[in-house]
Amino acid sequence: MAKNNLRIDGEISSYTAWRVGQFLLENKDKAVTVTLSSFGGDIASAVKISHAFANHGNVTLIHDSYNASAATWLFGAKNIKMYSDCMLYIHCSSKDYYYWQSMNAEELKALGVKHEEDIKQLETVDRIIAQKYADRSNGKYSVDDMLSLMKSHPWLTAEQCLEYGFIDEIISEKMPSRPSNSMQAEFKNCAIPLPEGIVFQDDRSLLQKLADLFKANSNINNNSTEFMNKKFVTVNSLVNVEGFDEKDGKVVMTAEQMQVIEDALVEKNNKIENHGSLESELSTVKDAKKKAEDSLAAASKALDAISDDVKKEEGIDNKIKKIKEVFDKIPAGVAAPNPKSEDVDPYSDCRKDPVNNYFDE
């Protein structure tokens, strides 16, 4: 490639802006051509590149692919061309969110997310971009017209881009190759819808093509029918699947699914084996209950021996209540009789003197 030609592929980033700056510096005061194939990228970097084009003065920008987002408004170039079989995708700006992923201002509003500052910032950026598009139309379209167009998220043909003023010239020659599948993957990763009616380039190697062709022929020649069997409702629920692929009366299961079934069967067998021990425990409980009943009967018999009045009562609680009534009838405040003083030795609890009572020790 000539020194005054630069090709940009992939994401527009700060590195892309640096690379463009270096290229323009090396070709100062020279006419240069930049060929672009990009799904967009960082807005700030795209603004920087557009300003670098304008400052250089003599830059021809060529869209030779299905370019999107920030790659569509590098209007600092003096002349912008586009191949007739290429397209540009324009849309509103968006912000990455951990949970909601990438969403623009209108989508955040519809979701009811309370991020007023983010919404305000996105709307400001949208008006800046819409102003760029409106300025390129030379007054044919207003900022509000461009905002409406951006909100519809269209893929624009070369003829439409020329009508809106986004390009200055259409290159009628066809591109030497179709867009690659890797570009298709990049669009999907950026949540950019693919243009309708576009056939992407087949990136498969020769070996991959032969393997896929052999597999397709094998499926055609195989008369057996493969379908999803959903009738094993219990098993499907156990392993959390809708059904199993069945072919020639056989189903395929993963080792993880087999382990789930194995664990369930082991748990079921353990419950069956433990049934006998449960009966043994129940018998033990019955024996303990009988012993408690026997103890209550013995206690009741002992209480009956106190008096006939107690014996007449039914139940342990009633018998104890009767005994309490008898004790309650005993008059309170009656002191026990004191023994006569002459019968009591007042010093009986004292230790005898070992000196004066030596012989009594």
Q: Which two tokens stand for residue 294?
A: 């026997």
One-letter amino acid for residue 86 of the chain: C
- CB of 150 within 8 A of CB of 141? no
DSSP 201: B
Q: How far apart are CA 108 and CA 131, in angstroms?
A: 22
Tally of CB atoms within 10 A around 302: 10
pLDDT in tens, the chain (361 residues): 568 999 999 899 999 999 999 999 999 999 999 999 998 888 899 999 999 999 999 999 999 888 998 999 999 999 999 999 889 999 887 765 545 456 677 776 676 655 677 778 888 989 999 999 999 998 899 999 999 999 888 899 999 999 999 999 999 866 544 555 556 666 665 556 666 655 555 555 556 656 666 665 555 455 555 566 667 777 777 777 777 777 777 777 787 878 888 887 777 776 655 555 556 666 777 777 888 888 878 887 887 887 788 788 888 788 788 777 777 776 665 555 555 555 556 655 555 555 555 555 5
**C-alpha to C-alpha distances, 355 to 346, 347, 348, nearest whole angstrom:** 21, 17, 18
User: What distance separates the 2 farthest-apart alpha carbons in the chain?
Assistant: 148
Q: Which two tokens stand for residue 140?
A: 């044919």
pLDDT of residue 176: 47
Q: Which two tokens stand for residue 300?
A: 């009741």
E strands within 185-286? 226-229, 244-247, 250-251
Determine the 3-state secondary structure of 37 from DSSP: strand
Q: How far apart are CA 116 and CA 67, in angstroms?
A: 31
User: What values do phi and psi take at 154, rounded to 5?
Assistant: -90, 155
Partner residues linked to 61 by β-bridges:
34, 80
Q: Element (H or E) spanning 83, and its range?
A: strand 79-83
For residue 312, with 0-12 CB atoms within 10 Å meaning exposed, 13-18 middle and 19 or more buried, which class applies?
exposed
Q: Which two tokens stand for residue 337?
A: 């009789």
- CB of 74 within 8 A of CB of 50? yes
pLDDT of residue 200: 57
**Tokens 């209007």 found at:** 75
Q: Which two tokens stand for residue 143?
A: 């900022």
pLDDT of residue 183: 62
pLDDT of residue 345: 61
First to last CA, the chain: 134
pLDDT of residue 65: 86
